[in-house]
Amino acid sequence: MTTSSTEKTKPLGLILQEADLISVPQIELALKDQAQFKYLRIGEILALRGWIKQQTADFFAEEWPKLLANPTSKRQPIGYYLQAAALLNEQQIDNILIDQQLLGTKFASTAILKGWIRQKTMNFFLKNLHRRPEKNNLSQLIEYSEDFRTENPKTNKIIYAGEPHITTPETCISVCDELDFEWIEL
């Protein structure tokens, strides 16, 4: 799956709206402010108004386009990017990881249930950073499933979690069927 040039060059305000970090009225007001204060970038205005942190604006203006430009690069755990975007802090991530170990829950679900991040924001990160493999590409399917590989602390079984949800390696077959993956006998 390739990223189109329009996706790479989306305006910061639109990216932040899609991530559910700002609203349409907020971006409209920030654009009016920018017309008056031409020396300020839109991210700076949003941060000065207290709607997002400056680190969040900088992440989406500088790092996000690089991530989208290289969709095949090995990804960090989702918490890494949420911390880099100043959407979660280190203490929150540690707390989520502890709960994840104790309860066997997914990182994303735990962060949302604690109210630290919105569902739409988490979906935005997962959709853009953990893309589904291309149809009939076994190496991408394996790499994709490894991105979501974790161990269930209750059963000590390897489980896979993500979009789509893969509960065990055995159910990988159903995902392949869903992707119309063609099996080749060796």
* Mean pLDDT value across residues 114-118: 93
DSSP string over the chain: ----HHHHT--HHHHHHHTTSS-HHHHHHHHHHHHH-TTS-HHHHHHHTTSS-HHHHHIIIIIHHHHHH-TTSPPPPHHHHHHHTTSS-HHHHHHHHHHHHHH---HHHHHHHTTSS-HHHHHHHHHHHSPPPPTT-HHHHHHHHHHTEEE-TTT--EEE-SSS---SGGGHHHHHHHTTPPP---
Average pLDDT over residues 79-88: 95
Rounded to an integer, the average pLDDT of 39-66 is 96
pLDDT at 165 over 50: no
Q: What is the pLDDT of residue 162?
A: 43
User: pTM higher than 0.75 for the full model?
Assistant: no
Is 81 a residue whose pLDDT tops 90?
Answer: yes
